[in-house]
Structure 1
Amino acid sequence: MAKGAQTRQAILDAATVRFGRDGYRSTSVADIARDAGVGGTVAYTYFPNKEALFLAALDEDAAAIIEEGVTTVVGEPGAGAPDWRQLLIFSLLGAVEGHPLARRVLAGLEPDVTDRVLEIPALTELRKACAERIAAEQLAGTVRSDIDPVPIGSGVVSIMLSLLMSVVQVGPDAAVAYGSDVAAVFEAAIDRTPPPR
């Protein structure tokens, strides 16, 4: 990695930690530069202002969580395959604890940028992976063939993101209490109806 890329990454890493711990309003670019071990104005070489630095740090932190989710979704569909939707939500829940800035935004502590989470590139990739998985399951005959995988995949991601925000805000007991209900909704909406006995 070139020196400029290393410096940019050090600034992003420091920004993720500092913004995650102290929030946008309480953090200065000088604090981040100091934490990154660079001069006070070096961050402006890579990011035009504090907001751009915050958004870049948020994109990277959230992308790391979502990447774990994408690896859960990608896999072979089939009768013996584990329920990727359950694996997805639990992998996202597990990953969020190690990502302080994304967790802070999901918790509603940065209301000015919460809507930004919906449009990060990594979330677009997760929607695509879910749609592709549903389409593959349609071909395998394990989910309904009369649904459009693209909006359904997007809907799966939206529901999971809402659940993730709820769990971050009210605690993990919400996932335990209502997790099977969410799974039942997915099952009813997506899974192929078994033949009558």
Structure 2
Amino acid sequence: MIFGEKYYGMLKKLSPWRQSLFSLVLAQRQYPNYALWCEVNEVKGGAKAYQKTLNTLWEFHKDKFNTIDLEKVLDEFEPYLLDDEKNDLSVGDLFSLDATLSLSSSILAIIMHEGEEAEMASRASLSGVIRQIEQSSDREYTDEELREMESVDNEVNFQIELYELLEKSKREPSLVDKLYKLSLNGGVSNIGLSLE
């Protein structure tokens, strides 16, 4: 296990708004993965719907007195979610699934809050990085081998930096601005994709 149970235990202790923001940062960072999947699979309106959902969530967190109906936001995005019951999911499908899992976790952390939303987003983002490594080399690696790889190390460090920032910060617009900037990651996704 790349992240131990201790790390996931700390994520579970985050308050709902922190879990939502944690998931949102990872979802924003995975936007290029989802947008390219939509382009390849001709999912009309998918990338736009994902971006609209991201924007609404950033707005939701920036103004804690907002009247945004997150259940409605989730319902509007639902038609663009990949059916994970589908057989023969391609690697691209799985990257898309990771991104939408992080995005829906950001919403569910607020409307359901079962306490595992940040962990779900964390696992989704990390599994995408590992999948990309294993697909490009056509073999599986042990956790020890993976932990030595730069892309896995970058993912782990990114998530820990994100956790530490959220854990010690108060809920205020300046934090949301800082997290948004972090989430853009120079336009590069967790698996190294860019829309440029």
TM-based fold match above 0.5: no
The structure showing larger relative contact order (alpha-carbon pairs under 8 Å, at least 6 residues apart) is 2
TM superposition score normalised by structure 2: 0.31
Which has the greater radius of gyration?
1
TM-score after normalising by structure 1: 0.31
